[in-house]
Structure 1
Amino acid sequence: MTAFLANILLALAWMALTGSFGASGFFTGFLFGFCVIWVGRRDRASAAYRQRLLAVAGFIVFFVKELVMANLRVAHDVLTPRDYMTPGIVAVPLDLESDLQITLLSNLLTLTPGTLSLNLSADRRTLYVHAMYIDDPAQMVREIKDGFERRIREVIQ
């Protein structure tokens, strides 16, 4: 946590030194602070912080890519005369344990166009997901587990 606070303080110092008090100034300062911490500190806490921050950045890139691809697929289906949908419901067995992890997975799937989280089983081990495009149910489950679920576990341990 101290590495995160140091990063915030370096970002604020950057904003004060450059005189740019907007979001772009804070983001630039945050990146600058991250680089300073990366080079300057070599303890275990800093290494864990760097690893977690890189996992969060990777997750954001992954989610934006999934969001764009899903939007393009739905838009293509809406704009073409032929119907490409193969809707269905899949049961995704969960390896996630905490309420935060399960909630984040459920919300991110619902935010992605073409998918909707329907229900969580009573034992909290299965998430039921409706999808507009299910060519292969097993492949859909693998994509959710290898994509969203794995990255959520990396970010929230």
Structure 2
Amino acid sequence: MTPFLANILLALAWMALTGTYTAGGFFTGALAGFFVLWITRRGRGTTGYLTRVRAVAGFIAFFFRELVLANLRVAHDILTPRHHMTPGIVAVPLDVESDLEVTVLATVITLTPGTLSLHLTDDRRTLYVHAMYIDDPAVLVRGIKEGFERRVREVFR
């Protein structure tokens, strides 16, 4: 049985035992199932499933943190009398390879306020990004590569 299927069955068992047939009950059961699988497989090494679940959870946490920070920065700029914008377009060289990885990366960049994915080159090696706040283009590119792109690669590897 795959760890994913085992986790789903543990989540359903949790829902049946607690009598909470809701999305929250399923999520709680899935979380409890993950920890049960992690503890039982710890001696045999970490499985790919457990690693991927941790990578997805880390990606979601990072994305929400960046989303909140970007919203606060844009809101601050809107509410203050002086604009702090230094807009521009930067070319981000990509290390992600698959279409899904490129799509997820471009989407999370676009979903973050203040940034927008504009164009992907035909060879899929460079993504052009418009940003509202570019104090130093190299810092922005490094932030995207070390932040979003690294986490996207962790999720899909």
TM-score (structure 1 length as normaliser): 0.96
Report whether the alignment pairs 1:91 with 2:91: yes
CA distance in 2, matches of 1:109, 1:39: 35
TM-superposed CA distance for 1:43, in Å, is 4.1
User: Cα offset for 1:51?
Assistant: 1.1
Question: Structure 1 runs of 4+ off > 2 angstroms?
Answer: 41-44
**Residue 128 of structure 1: how far off its partner (Å):** 0.1
Q: Distance in 1 between matches of 2:65 and 2:141?
A: 18
Task: Report what 2:12 is aligned to.
Answer: 12
Task: Quote the residue 2:29 is aligned against.
Answer: 29
CA shift for structure 1 position 47: 2.0
TM-score, normalised to structure 2's length? 0.96
Q: Secondary structure at the match of 2:153?
A: helix
Separation in 1, partners of 2:71, 2:27: 27
Which residue of structure 1 lines up, in the alignment, with residue 82 of structure 2?
Answer: 82
**d(CA) in 2 for partners of 1:108, 1:9:** 31
Q: Which amino acid aligns with 1:130?
A: H
Distance in 1, Cα, partners of 2:68 & 2:143: 16
Q: Does 1:117 align with 2:153?
A: no
> 1:12, CA displacement in angstroms?
0.5
CA RMSD of aligned residues (A): 1.2
1: distance between equivalents of 2:141 and 2:38?
37
Which whole-Å CA distance do the structure 1 matches of 2:61 and 2:149 have between them? Answer: 15
Following superposition, the deviation at residue 134 of structure 1 comes to 0.3
AA in 2 matched with 1:84: H
Query: 2:152 corresponds to which letter in structure 1?
Result: I
Q: Where do 5+ consecutive residues of structure 1 fail to align? A: none
Q: Which amino acid aligns with 2:29?
A: G
How many pairs align? 156
User: Any residues of structure 2 matched to 1:1-157 within 5 Å, and which?
Assistant: 2-41=2-41, 42-43=43-44, 47-157=47-157
